[in-house]
């Protein structure tokens, strides 16, 4: 009989603010990560500090914010009013302390609960806050939330404002690094939402005059816009709308009080509904909602008094009311879109005609695919029952969890041995495996019909649950796990082509990754080192001695399940797949997957070398495409 565990007064303890944040960081900043994903914790730390500076600008104080990230050190400097000098320590180290509880001062601010900078402080090995106002300055320094130094200057010539510097704790954010592309995207959103604000990041300026219209112009080139961007503004709402000529799916950028609500919420649901209702009424036709919204590229931003988000990271709005004397979010957005967009369409018949043609085209395509889609869904269900392709996990992205964010992963593998090793070593709660059979089809320039007719693509689409968009995406990390040889690289490219062609939002939203696995194992009797490059191998040999045993992994199938646990656990190395800001998807696909062109041939010869054998690298052989 097992001994009963004692439960006494000694088991009850109270954590102070910093202990609780450090013990349960997910409750405050979402997932931790290493910087490979745009929603990793290190970016949330930057956002939490930046939100306070943005709120100063919204209140009419300070038109410029300067940000520097050098290595792991972040510095954010604004020229707002500055924190009241006597409260500099309190606002970054005392929970439930801040200036935003008084809704008169910060009526529609981003951060409301006074937690953000405290979380940054507690999760940093170094944190410094400095405030200047009225010719005086106060500063405080902390380590893991503990005050280490405090200073007050009675006379200073510094410009007013607040400066925050911090270094995230490597004990919590392991092996992390900042990726400038993710920071830049965040900053661009801030300037689109705050026309007239200048943000300087590592010397580069970001500025917008036209708000959400500029955001859409950045994300969809003029040549791919079905009609000029429709830009509508109201007191607490701003909307930008167009349709893509080539994109299959819907694409939305949604914001509340300047916060990028990547998971949408009540405002985005209301906007999608209002768009369909307005167009149905304008044309006097009860079009299917999916046909109306197909290929829509849009942005919507609203301001809500004291918004309620579904988590501390504020990625999904839960509020149903606008606040004050205003109506519900749904009614407010519906009335605005109905009035403004309907008026625009009456004044711009060319745009109205193009939208209707697009809807009718979507309707024809949907009807042509209806039979095939039904058969494809039935096949996917049967395959799922027999577990032929997918070894699923127990919980999925979007499921709730007490400690906050739930991180789930789907590994896309090729070959029985590789998928077998990952399946045996994965975390069955949050990691799933999808096994490919051979090389996928090159779907460049093909229609979406191929997604339903091709078994591999049909089952992959069903596994991810992305047929109708990312709203019900089952895994937030979609990881291509193929060998680092010519065949593996080709499979990667074919899979990326599939996502670019039919589900580009999966890449735009930062969900697609390449799994990095070690090339070498270097070990002696006492220690084992896994090396991801020739340089790391040389360093391991210096460390372990020339007699150390070296193993060269030629493929994922050669890595045992016991070893794979190290590479897909908390130290997993993921390389994000990103879209460059100056290249359209069509240009990318044409270059890499179109008819073999001299340009691409020249690029391959000049740039790509594949390590068939690390000690004897060879050039890729140029030939015809499959």
CA distance 247 to 243: 8
Sheet holding 409-414, edge to edge: 390-391, 431-436, 409-414, 477-481, 512-516, 573-576
- Residue 339 placed within a domain: yes
Q: How many helices (H) and strands (E) does the chain have?
A: 20, 24
Residues 6+ apart with CB under 8 A from 199: 64, 65, 66, 67, 187, 190, 191, 205, 206, 207
**pLDDT number for residue 603:** 57
Helix orientation angle between 180-193 and 41-58, rounded to the nearest 10 degrees: 20
Supply the pTM of this predicted model. 0.82
Q: Specify whether 165 is located in the same domain as 41.
A: yes
How far the first Cα of the chain sits from its last, in Å, is: 66
* Final residue in a domain of this structure, among 207, 232, 263: 207
Q: Specify whether 392 is located in the same domain as 252.
A: no
Q: What is the DSSP string of 262-273?
A: TT-BHHHHHHHH
Q: Specify whether 248 is located in the same domain as 302.
A: yes
How many CB atoms lie under 10 A from the CB of residue 545?
Answer: 10
Q: Specify whether 360 is located in the same domain as 257.
A: yes
**pLDDT number for residue 270:** 96
In a 3-state reduction of DSSP, which class is residue 344? helix
- Residue 280 placed within a domain: yes
Residue from 28, 115, 41, 38 nearest 403 by CA? 28
- Residue 536 placed within a domain: no
Range(s) of the domain holding residue 626: 597-626
Q: Specify whether 28 is located in the same domain as 161.
A: yes
- Residue 548 placed within a domain: no
- Residue 375 placed within a domain: no
Phi, psi of 270 (to 5 degrees): -65, -40
- Residue 524 placed within a domain: no
Asked whether 240 and 227 are in contact (CB, 8 A), the reply is: no
β-strands 161-168, 73-78 pairing: antiparallel
CA distance 571 to 515: 12
In a 3-state reduction of DSSP, which class is residue 539? helix
Q: Specify whether 421 is located in the same domain as 558.
A: yes
With tokens 């069955």, the residue in question is 428
With tokens 């709402």, the residue in question is 237
Asked whether 397 and 473 are in contact (CB, 8 A), the reply is: yes
**pLDDT number for residue 292:** 96
Residues 6+ apart with CB under 8 A from 262: 39, 254, 315, 509
Which portions of the chain are predicted below pLDDT 70?
1-15, 96-114, 311-313, 382-388, 398-406, 580-588, 590-592, 594-626
**pLDDT number for residue 312:** 59
Q: Specify whether 438 is located in the same domain as 573.
A: yes
CA distance 241 to 231: 7
**pLDDT number for residue 228:** 97
Q: Specify whether 241 is located in the same domain as 153.
A: no
Q: Specify whether 607 is located in the same domain as 568.
A: no
CATH number, domain of 351, equals 3.30.230.10
């Amino acid at each position: 009989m097992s001994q009963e565990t004692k439960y006494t007064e000694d088991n009850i303890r109270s954590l102070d603010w910093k202990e609780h944040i450090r013990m349960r960081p997910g409750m405050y900043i979402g997932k931790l990560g290493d910087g490979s994903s745009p929603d990793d914790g290190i970016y949330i730390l930057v956002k939490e500090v930046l939100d306070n500076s943005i709120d100063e600008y919204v209140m009419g104080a300070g038109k410029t914010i300067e940000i520097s990230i050098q290595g792991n050190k972040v510095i954010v400097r604004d020229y707002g009013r500055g924190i009241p000098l006597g409260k500099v320590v309190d606002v970054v180290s005392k929970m439930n302390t801040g200036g935003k509880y008084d809704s008169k001062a910060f009526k529609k601010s981003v951060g409301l609960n006074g937690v953000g900078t405290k979380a940054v402080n507690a999760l940093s090995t170094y944190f410094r806050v400095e405030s200047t106002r009225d010719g005086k300055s106060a500063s405080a320094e902390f380590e893991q939330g503990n005050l280490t130094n405090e200073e007050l200057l009675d006379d200073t010539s510094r410009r007013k404002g607040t400066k925050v510097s911090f270094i995230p704790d490597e004990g919590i954010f392991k092996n992390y690094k900042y990726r400038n592309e993710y920071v830049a995207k965040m900053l661009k959103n801030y300037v689109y939402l705050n026309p007239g604000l200048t943000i300087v990041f590592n010397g580069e300026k970001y500025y917008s005059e036209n708000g959400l219209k500029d955001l859409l112009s950045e994300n969809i080139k003029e040549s791919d816009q079905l009609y000029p961007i429709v830009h509508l503004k109201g007191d607490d709402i701003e909307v930008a709308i167009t349709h893509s000529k080539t994109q299959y799916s819907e694409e939305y950028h949604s914001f509340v009080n300047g916060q990028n609500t990547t998971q949408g919420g009540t405002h985005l649901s209301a906007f999608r509904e209002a768009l369909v209702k307005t167009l149905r009424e304008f044309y006097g036709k009860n079009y299917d909602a999916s046909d109306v919204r197909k290929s829509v590229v849009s942005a919507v931003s609203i301001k809500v008094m004291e918004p309620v988000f579904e988590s501390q990271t504020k990625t999904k709005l839960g509020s149903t009311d606008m606040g004050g004397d205003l109506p519900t979010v749904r009614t407010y957005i519906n009335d605005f879109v109905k009035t403004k967009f309907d008026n625009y369409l009456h004044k711009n018949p060319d745009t109205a005609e193009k939208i209707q043609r697009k809807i009718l085209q979507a309707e024809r395509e949907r009807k042509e695919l209806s039979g095939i889609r039904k058969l494809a869904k039935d096949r996917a269900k049967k395959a799922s029952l027999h577990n032929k392709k997918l070894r699923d996990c127990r919980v999925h992205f979007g499921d709730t969890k007490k400690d906050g964010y739930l991180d789930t992963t789907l590994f896309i593998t090729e070959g029985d041995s590789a998928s077998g090793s990952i399946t045996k070593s994965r975390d069955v709660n949050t990691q799933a495996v999808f096994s490919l059979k051979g090389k996928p089809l090159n779907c460049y320039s093909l229609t979406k019909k191929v997604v339903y007719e091709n078994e591999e693509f049909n089952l992959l689409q069903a596994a991810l649950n992305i047929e109708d968009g990312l709203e019900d995406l089952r895994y937030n990390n979609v990881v291509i796990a193929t060998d680092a040889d010519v065949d593996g690289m080709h499979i990667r490219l074919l899979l990326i082509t599939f996502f670019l062609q039919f589900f580009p939002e999966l890449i735009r939203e930062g969900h697609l990754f390449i799994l990095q696995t070690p090339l070498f194992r270097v070990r002696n009797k006492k220690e084992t080192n896994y090396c991801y490059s020739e340089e790391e191998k040389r360093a391991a040999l210096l460390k372990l001695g020339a007699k150390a045993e070296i193993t060269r992994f030629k493929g994922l199938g050669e890595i045992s399940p016991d070893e794979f646990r190290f590479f897909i656990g908390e130290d997993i190395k993921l390389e994000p797949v990103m879209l460059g800001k100056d290249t359209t998807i069509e240009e990318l696909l044409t270059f890499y997957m179109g008819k073999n062109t001299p340009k691409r041939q020249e690029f391959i010869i000049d740039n790509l070398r594949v390590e068939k054998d690390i000690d004897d690298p060879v050039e890729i052989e140029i030939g015809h495409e499959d």
